[in-house]
Amino acid sequence: MHSWTDTLRFAFQPVVNLTTGAVAGLEILARPETGDILAEARRDPELDSRLAVSAVRAAVRKETLLPLFVNVFAGTLADLGGLPSLHDAVREAGRLPWEVTIDVCPPYTHVPQRALLEAVSRLRGQGFRICADGVGDGDLPLRLLSDITPDLVKLDASLLARPAVVRSMRTLCDELGALLAVEGVETEGQCAAALAAGAQLAQGELLAPPARLPAADVYVPPRSPADVAAPRSGPSVREFVRPAVLLPATASAGQVRALLTGSPDVSGVLLVDTAGVPVRSVHRSRFLLSMSGRYGHALYDRPAAKLGDPPRTVGIDATAWEVLDVVAVGGRDRTSDDVAVVDEYGRCVGVVRLADLVRALAETRVEEAAGLNPLTRLPGSDTITGEVDRRIASGRAFTLSWLDVDHFKQVNDGAGFAAGDELIRAVGRALQQAATRGTRVGHIGGDDFLVLAEPEGLDPLAASMLDAPWSAGGRPVTLSLATVLCAPGSVTDHRQAAACLAPLKKAAKALHGASWVLGRAGVPGHETRRGAEPAPAPAPVRCGMAEPGGG
């Protein structure tokens, strides 16, 4: 009697890190030779659960060390209260649960949400990672997505035609602590759009098609500066995480050597305890050098931990700059060691390599330098407007201000351009010093500055700039400030915010002395916070003929 497993095969498709070009994991895809077993699994939770177990066992037979992505229908999780058989299969295969990500697949309609959330919580408690699959092309409600708090969100490539939606989803992922992936990427244009919108991972025919053998060779198109989303207070370490090669802390030196010699691309091995917490770090070159020595054969049966070093670790929420701080501590001989990335429980979720960080940070610095104003070294309008769009997408209230010097042409003509340049540099420095957390300052040319701030941080900045005595070449000057307060939903993009700001700048320039006007997007009129209204023009004096009746 034939079983459904007799005609079932599995294919492996890489999920690719767009920053490093490394394979972040392998999605295991069922490929039946006959019939539609996925349609049957959608109706039969027990069958779907057995498919997940078979997928893991198929990966083990291929001897892949990469993390795995296993597809399970949302209804299956809700009906079975989790996947008890999968946890056993993973352990039997010698893998750790946090090396396996459960891709929760639609449909979600008619799935009991409480039961689904309880099942997801149970899986997460066992160590599995959770991915919300098919977002944008399925029926996953946003509220449920937020409640699931996935580690990864997979968007359908069709959404790349709506970059604002992808950017908004990246913002949501940042809030949830999740990575953003795009699946179904087939062209270089789609890959560039995914990068520009802020996606960190991708999979699709362009990068690597599904294959019977787990392939680690992928194609990632060369990046241009225009493809890359603007940096956010330093790149997150999440963007650079590579899969870690893990062995139990009790592993022998012979086991580590066999793994390293059979996997030339592996730069090191982390030895972890039963909870998945790194306890020792084994560097490839130093370890193999020790094993190749005169008495190396005597080390084969000794614990590999004896030849390792204390692991260097960073939290999953760290920035790339914080990783460099960790690398800088200790001897120079360890600068090439992988840094372990751990979750809130201290469990290893991957590693980062110094070369990836240095390359990306160098690119970031070049891109930032290209956009800086040469006089003040402040970013230009593109940086500020990009951040405006991100705050709009995240639903945050913000203020956008335009500050400039009154009668700056007269200042230049009277005091000279050198004095004018020094004044502009001084204003730029003062703005930077007055900026608090959440405030971005840009110099868009001439004497014009843009300030993006949180509403509560604006008053101290305005006071510090408008109360200060300014002069150029001994001539006193004043500043004008125009601000538009944008409540959530009041503007759709940075262009609309700028259009709201333009009339406010005109109103501020019409006042005498240091001036500040404040308006609200979508609300007519404005409030004058600083500055005096100009005096009315005197009545004209009439000359010539006397008035009728005059003497």
Kindly tell me the sign of the dihedral angle through the C-alpha atoms of 54, 55, 56, 61: positive
Q: Are 279 and 306 in contact (CB under 8 A)?
A: no
Structure tokens at 289: 């050098």
At 496, which helix (H) or strand (E)?
Answer: helix 494-509
Q: Is the pLDDT of residue 63 over 60?
A: yes
Q: Is the pLDDT of residue 369 over 70?
A: no
Q: List b or e across 411-445, with b for residues whose CB sees 16 or more CB atoms inside 10 angstroms.
A: bbeebeeebbeebbeebbebbeebbeeebbbbbbe
Over residues 40-59, mean pLDDT: 92
Which amino acid is residue 453, in one-letter code?
A
Task: Measure the CA–CA gap between 206 and 215, rounded to whole angstroms.
Answer: 14
What Å distances lie between residue 22 and 19, 196, 238, 261, CA to CA? 8, 19, 13, 20
What Å distances lie between residue 115 and 67, 108, 112, CA to CA? 27, 12, 5
Over residues 25-37, mean pLDDT: 84
Q: How far is CA 389 from the centre of its chain?
A: 15
Task: Measure the CA–CA gap between 70 and 101, rounded to whole angstroms.
Answer: 6
Q: Are 427 and 480 in contact (CB under 8 A)?
A: no
Q: What pLDDT, on the 0 to 100 scale, is given for residue 4?
A: 56
Quick one: angle between helices 417-434 and 408-415, nearest 10?
130
Q: What residue spans of 400-444 are helical by DSSP H? A: 408-415, 417-434
Task: Measure the CA–CA gap between 59 and 215, rounded to whole angstroms.
Answer: 12
Over residues 412-426, mean pLDDT: 88
Q: What pLDDT, on the 0 to 100 scale, is given for residue 113?
A: 95
Q: What pLDDT, on the 0 to 100 scale, is given for residue 233?
A: 47
- Please tell me the pTM assigned to this model: 0.59
Q: What pLDDT, on the 0 to 100 scale, is given for residue 491?
A: 92
Task: Measure the CA–CA gap between 528 and 482, rounded to whole angstroms.
Answer: 10
Task: Measure the CA–CA gap between 323 and 353, rounded to whole angstroms.
Answer: 10
- DSSP secondary structure of 204-253: STTT---BSS-------PPP-GGGSPPP-SS-BGGGG-B---EEETT-BH
476 Cβ neighbours under 8 A, 6+ residues apart: 469, 470
Predicted confidence band of residue 70 (pLDDT cuts 50, 70, 90): very high
Task: Measure the CA–CA gap between 68 and 14, rounded to whole angstroms.
Answer: 9
Q: What pLDDT, on the 0 to 100 scale, is given for residue 497?
A: 92
Task: Measure the CA–CA gap between 289 and 295, rounded to whole angstroms.
Answer: 11
Terminal C-alpha separation, the chain = 130
Over residues 491-506, mean pLDDT: 92
CA proximity to 391, closest of 143, 168, 155, 163:
168
Q: Is the pLDDT of residue 230 over 50?
A: no
Task: Measure the CA–CA gap between 103 and 371, rounded to whole angstroms.
Answer: 40
Instruction: Provide, rounded to the nearest whole percent, the portion of the chain with pLDDT above 90.
Output: 40
Structure tokens at 276: 């998945």
Over residues 175-183, mean pLDDT: 91
Q: List b or e across 246-259, with b for residues whose CB sees 16 or more CB atoms inside 10 angstroms.
A: bbebebbbebbbeb
Task: Measure the CA–CA gap between 353 and 201, rounded to whole angstroms.
Answer: 17
Q: Is the pLDDT of residue 1 over 50?
A: no
Task: Measure the CA–CA gap between 256 and 10, rounded to whole angstroms.
Answer: 29
Q: How far is CA 137 from the centre of its chain?
A: 22
Predicted confidence band of residue 334 (pLDDT cuts 50, 70, 90): confident
Task: Measure the CA–CA gap between 463 and 466, rounded to whole angstroms.
Answer: 5
pLDDT digits (tens, 9 = 90+) for 381-390: 877 888 888 8
Identify which has the larger pLDDT, 32 or 50: 50
Q: What pLDDT, on the 0 to 100 scale, is given for residue 390?
A: 81
Q: Are 15 and 23 in contact (CB under 8 A)?
A: yes
Residue matched to tokens 């300052």 = 441
Q: Is the pLDDT of residue 236 over 70?
A: yes
- Residue 498 sits at the vertex; the CA angle it makes with 497 and 499, to the nearest 5 degrees, is 90
Over residues 380-405, mean pLDDT: 86
What Å distances lie between residue 152 and 134, 219, 336, 390, CA to CA? 11, 22, 29, 20
- DSSP secondary structure of 162-196: -HHHHHHHHHHHHHHT-EEEEE---SHHHHHHHHH
Structure tokens at 135: 């977002």
Identify which has the larger pLDDT, 515 or 95: 515
Q: At residue 467, what are phi and psi to the nearest 5 degrees?
A: -85, -20
pLDDT digits (tens, 9 = 90+) for 264-286: 888 899 999 988 899 999 999 88
Q: How many CB atoms lie within 10 A of CB 214?
A: 21
Q: How far is CA 320 from the centre of its chain?
A: 12
Range scoring the smallest mean pLDDT among 16-25, 417-426, 472-481? 16-25
Range scoring the smallest mean pLDDT among 174-178, 274-278, 368-372, 472-476? 368-372
Q: List b or e across 281-316, with b for residues whose CB sees 16 or more CB atoms inside 10 angstroms.
A: bbbbebbbebbeeeeeeebeeebbbebbbebbbbeb
Task: Measure the CA–CA gap between 244 and 228, rounded to whole angstroms.
Answer: 26
Q: What pLDDT, on the 0 to 100 scale, is given for residue 414?
A: 86
107 Cβ neighbours under 8 A, 6+ residues apart: 42, 73, 74, 75, 138, 139
Omega of the bond prior to 107 within 30 degrees of 0, cis? Answer: yes
